[in-house]
Amino acid sequence: MYSNLRYDLPASASPSHHRPIPGHNASSTISRRECLAALLTFSITSGCKFSPALQGENPLTGSSGPLSNKKGGSSQTDLKNFTPEEFGAVGDGETNDTDAFARMSAAVSEIGGGTIILSKRTYIVGAQTPNSYPYSFAPAPIMKFEGCSGNLTILGNGARLRCADGLRYGTFDPITGAPTQHQMPYTQPGELATPYEGMIWIERCTGKVEIRDLELDGNSQGLVIGGPFGDTGYQLPATGIYLKNNTGGEHVSGVYTHHHGQDGIYVSSTLDRDKGTFIENLVSEYNARQGCSVGGGAHYAFVDSKFNHTGRAGLFSDPGAGVDIEAEMNSIRNLSFKGCEFSNNRGVGMLADSGDTADATFENCRFIGTDCYAAWPRMPRFRFANCLFVGCIIQTYFDAANPDDAVQFKSCKFTDDPALSPTGQLSRVSHGFIANLGAGDTNVLFDDCHFDVRESALLPYSGECIYNNCTMYQGSDGVCYPRGTFSGTNKLDGNVDLYSIAFSKITGTLTLNGQTIAPTDRCC
What is the share, in percent, of the chain residues with pLDDT greater than 90?
A: 76
440 or 306, higher pLDDT = 306
The predicted structure's pLDDT at residue 7: 26
Residues 58-87, mean pLDDT to the nearest whole number: 52
Residues 362-368, mean pLDDT to the nearest whole number: 98
The predicted structure's pLDDT at residue 244: 97
The predicted structure's pLDDT at residue 400: 79
Residues 355-378, mean pLDDT to the nearest whole number: 96
Q: Which of 40-49, 404-413, 433-442, 458-467 has the highest mean pLDDT?
A: 404-413
In DSSP terms, 308 is beta-bridged to: 285, 343
The predicted structure's pLDDT at residue 504: 87
Check pLDDT > 50 for residue 359.
yes
Gap between the Cα atoms of 170 and 407, Å rounded = 39
The predicted structure's pLDDT at residue 66: 34
Residues 354-360, mean pLDDT to the nearest whole number: 95
Gap between the Cα atoms of 137 and 174, Å rounded = 7
The predicted structure's pLDDT at residue 430: 64
The predicted structure's pLDDT at residue 329: 87
Lowest mean pLDDT among 39-53, 173-187, 305-319: 39-53
Task: Name the DSSP letter for residue 475.
Answer: -
Give the confidence band of 522 by pLDDT, cuts at 50, 70, 90: low
- CB neighbour burial string for 100-122, b if at least 16 within 10 angstroms, e if fewer: bbbbbbeebbebbbbbbbbeebb
Gap between the Cα atoms of 476 and 455, Å rounded = 6
Closest alpha carbon to 159 in 197, 117, 127: 117
Average pLDDT of every residue of the chain: 86
Q: How many residues does the chain have?
A: 524
Gap between the Cα atoms of 523 and 509, Å rounded = 12
Q: pTM for this one? A: 0.86
The predicted structure's pLDDT at residue 129: 96
- Which residues contact residue 214 at a Cβ distance below 8 angstroms, ignoring those fewer than 6 apart? 118, 154, 156, 157, 158, 159, 160, 161, 254, 255, 256
Give the confidence band of 439 by pLDDT, cuts at 50, 70, 90: low
The predicted structure's pLDDT at residue 15: 27
In the chain, what are the domain boundaries? 36-347
Give the confidence band of 78 by pLDDT, cuts at 50, 70, 90: very low
45 or 136, higher pLDDT = 136
Check pLDDT > 60 for residue 94.
yes
349 or 42, higher pLDDT = 349
455 or 15, higher pLDDT = 455
Gap between the Cα atoms of 399 and 366, Å rounded = 26
The predicted structure's pLDDT at residue 52: 29
Check pLDDT > 80 for residue 258.
yes
> What residue ranges in 416-470 does DSSP mark as E strands?
435-436, 445-447, 450-453, 462-468
Check pLDDT > 80 for residue 26.
no
Residues 420-430, mean pLDDT to the nearest whole number: 84
Closest alpha carbon to 237 in 160, 142, 344: 142
CA distances from 351 to 282, 318, 348, 374, 383 (A): 18, 12, 6, 9, 14
Check pLDDT > 80 for residue 37.
no
CA distances from 358 to 227, 326, 327 (A): 36, 11, 10
Check pLDDT > 70 for residue 102.
yes
In DSSP terms, 229 is beta-bridged to: 234
Residues 381-392, mean pLDDT to the nearest whole number: 97
Using DSSP, state whether 355 is helix, strand or coil: coil
Cβ pair 468, 488 in contact under 8 A:
yes
The predicted structure's pLDDT at residue 85: 98
Residues 309-334, mean pLDDT to the nearest whole number: 96
Lowest mean pLDDT among 95-104, 169-178, 425-434: 425-434
- Which residues contact residue 497 at a Cβ distance below 8 angstroms, ignoring those fewer than 6 apart? 10, 479, 480, 481, 483
Residues 476-494, mean pLDDT to the nearest whole number: 94
pLDDT in tens, 259-269: 999 999 999 99
Check pLDDT > 80 for residue 134.
yes
Residues 387-393, mean pLDDT to the nearest whole number: 96
Give the confidence band of 65 by pLDDT, cuts at 50, 70, 90: very low
Gap between the Cα atoms of 183 and 241, Å rounded = 30
The predicted structure's pLDDT at residue 431: 75
Cβ pair 365, 331 in contact under 8 A:
no
Gap between the Cα atoms of 154 and 73, Å rounded = 24
**Would you give the end-to-end CA distance of the chain in angstroms?**
38
Residue 32 φ then ψ, to 5°: -65, -40
Gap between the Cα atoms of 230 and 263, Å rounded = 15
Name the amino acid, one letter, at 399: D
CA distances from 216 to 39, 202, 370 (A): 22, 15, 26
Lowest mean pLDDT among 6-10, 109-113, 164-168, 184-188: 6-10
Would strands 515-517 and 509-512 be described as parallel, antiparallel, or unpaired?
antiparallel
Gap between the Cα atoms of 156 and 250, Å rounded = 16
The predicted structure's pLDDT at residue 502: 61
Residue 296 φ then ψ, to 5°: 165, 165
- Which DSSP helix (H) or strand (E) runs through 129? strand 128-132
521 or 306, higher pLDDT = 306
